[in-house]
Amino acid sequence: MAICAVHTSGQLNPTCSFSSSLGFNGQKQQQVAVFYKQRSSSSRRVGVSVIRCEQETIVIGLAADSGCGKSTFMRRLTSVFGGAAEPPKGGNPDSNTLISDTTTVICLDDYHSLDRTGRKEKGVTALDPRANDFDLMYEQVKAIKEGKAVEKPIYNHVSGLLDPPELIKPPKILVIEGLHPMYDQRVRDLLDFSIYLDISNEVKFAWKIQRDMAERGHSLESIKASIEARKPDFDAYIDPQKQYADAVIEVLPTQLIPGDNEGKVLRVRLIMKEGVKYFNPVYLFDEGSTISWIPCGRKLTCSYPGIKFNYGPDTYFGNEVSVLEMDGQFDRLDELIYVESHLSNISTKFYGEVTQQMLKHSDFPGSNNGTGLFQTIVGLKIRDLYEQLIAARAKTPAEAKA
């Protein structure tokens, strides 16, 4: 097993360290870069550094439209691995990257090849593949997966400009989150597990109003216009990615309140592909059966409109899947243990871990409904997948990679 080579003034990563990094704008830092690319749009160099690493990085893809809960999901996921996720220390304050002991989350907005003005001039949205550099995304995700550090560009959401790059060292788990993690087949093939957050139009609208109107002072008209303007490209380039996802969290209006369009009570479906290596779908009561369960009674307090679970097999884009559904919301989060104890294959390390995670983050959006519950469970499943993959690689490295 190769030991990491260290010839750098930079910070060391506990498992992997890098031997060089490229400077930008003429500023020379370390040498030995094996690859770099000149970005015409921003005169930056982005590169890959030589590295020897003890283990390969596991890559997770999380796809969703903007404002659909990716950041919230990431906070739940990194919490499952322990430790807080923070932006790179001493770096660009507008960096989109979050680093914790185990995970590094990079935002694929950083691969926008056109800045805000560029997109306006060309009349394309950020969702359009022409506004994104998939060659570079592929090269850099591949390099990180192989244990090489990269100089990743930064898209600055404050200025709308492409900023100088930041160094990303290979973590144990790399999460690529954003609009297009499964769009390009080369990038898709690098993913060890993929998730799509599928938020229905009604719910997306309700969330946007809540955030952009209540918290950011936007008008109702401008929110509607922005959703409408994005919709054709969303339908063409973002939504189709869900067919490739190993797990989809679908968020719909409740069916418990006839005609409800407030988007407060939600019906959430966790769609889990069968036959994915190291991923055994969660089930309720009896694996493979079709179950409908109203848990409200002596052990679970439910106010109107109550809670209903459904579970069973289905097909999704021609694939066999298991679907777990929760409609409604919890009154008392501590009572979630009652529901947790009826779920199997949830990959907890101790009894009540799901409930503990949910209670720990009770202030996150969706903590009283299926969005928080299923995001937490998927986080635990990813931890399990990671541990199984590492164990398998340690035994038979070549076989585990296949």
Ligand X SMILES: Nc1ncnc2c1ncn2[C@@H]1O[C@H](COP(=O)(O)OP(=O)(O)OP(=O)(O)O)[C@@H](O)[C@H]1O
Ligand Y SMILES: O=C(CO)[C@H](O)[C@H](O)COP(=O)(O)O
Q: Is 64 in the site for ligand X (CB under 6 A)?
A: yes
Q: Is 72 in the site for ligand X (CB under 6 A)?
A: yes
Q: What are the structure tokens assigned to 313, written together?
A: 């097999």
Q: How far is the CB of 208 from ligand X (least distance, A)?
A: 7
Q: How far is the CB of 152 from ligand X (least distance, A)?
A: 18
Is residue 286 within 8 A of residue 293, CB to CB? The reply is no
Is residue 19 within 8 A of residue 49, CB to CB? The reply is yes
138-157: which residues touch ligand Y (CB under 6 A)?
A: 157
Q: What are the structure tokens assigned to 227, written together?
A: 């959703």
Stretch of residues binding ligand X (CB under 6 A), selected from 64-72, 80-88, 284-292, 352-360: 64-72
Question: Hey, how many other C-beta atoms are within 10 angstroms of the C-beta on 382?
Answer: 27
Q: Is 79 in the site for ligand X (CB under 6 A)?
A: no
By CB under 6 A, name the one of 41, 66, 200, 388 that touches ligand X.
Answer: 66
Q: How far is the CB of 200 from ligand Y (least distance, A)?
A: 18
C-alpha closest to that of 82 among 11, 172, 166, 181: 172
Which of ligand X, ligand Y, none binds 72 (CB below 5-8 Å, type-dependent)?
Answer: ligand X
Q: How far is the CB of 21 from ligand X (least distance, A)?
A: 28
Nearest-Å Rg of the Cα atoms of the chain is: 22
294-353: which residues touch ligand Y (CB under 6 A)?
A: none
Question: Hey, how many other C-beta atoms are within 10 angstroms of the C-beta on 118?
Answer: 17
Which of ligand X, ligand Y, none binds 179 (CB below 5-8 Å, type-dependent)?
Answer: ligand Y
Q: Scan for tokens 């020379």, then name that residue.
A: 28
- CA–CA distances in Å: residue 108 to residues 9, 120, 136, 212, 275: 28, 19, 11, 22, 28
Q: Is 96 in the site for ligand X (CB under 6 A)?
A: no
Which secondary-structure segment (H or E) carries 375?
A: helix 370-395
Q: Is 126 in the site for ligand Y (CB under 6 A)?
A: yes
How far apart CA 360 and CA 354 sit, in angstroms, is: 10
Q: How far is the CB of 145 from ligand Y (least distance, A)?
A: 23
Please report the sign of the dihedral spanned by the C-alpha atoms of residue 13, residue 387, residue 136, residue 68: negative
Which of ligand Y, ligand X, none binds 116 (CB below 5-8 Å, type-dependent)?
Answer: ligand Y
Q: Is 110 in the site for ligand Y (CB under 6 A)?
A: no
Helix, strand and coil content of the chain, in percent to the nearest 5, comes to: 30, 25, 40
Stretch of residues binding ligand X (CB under 6 A), selected from 12-20, 31-39, 312-320, 365-373: 365-373
Q: Which residues are near ligand X by CB under 6 A?
A: 64, 66-72, 207, 210-211, 365-366, 371
Q: Which residues are near ligand Y by CB under 6 A?
A: 66, 109, 116, 126, 157, 160, 178-179
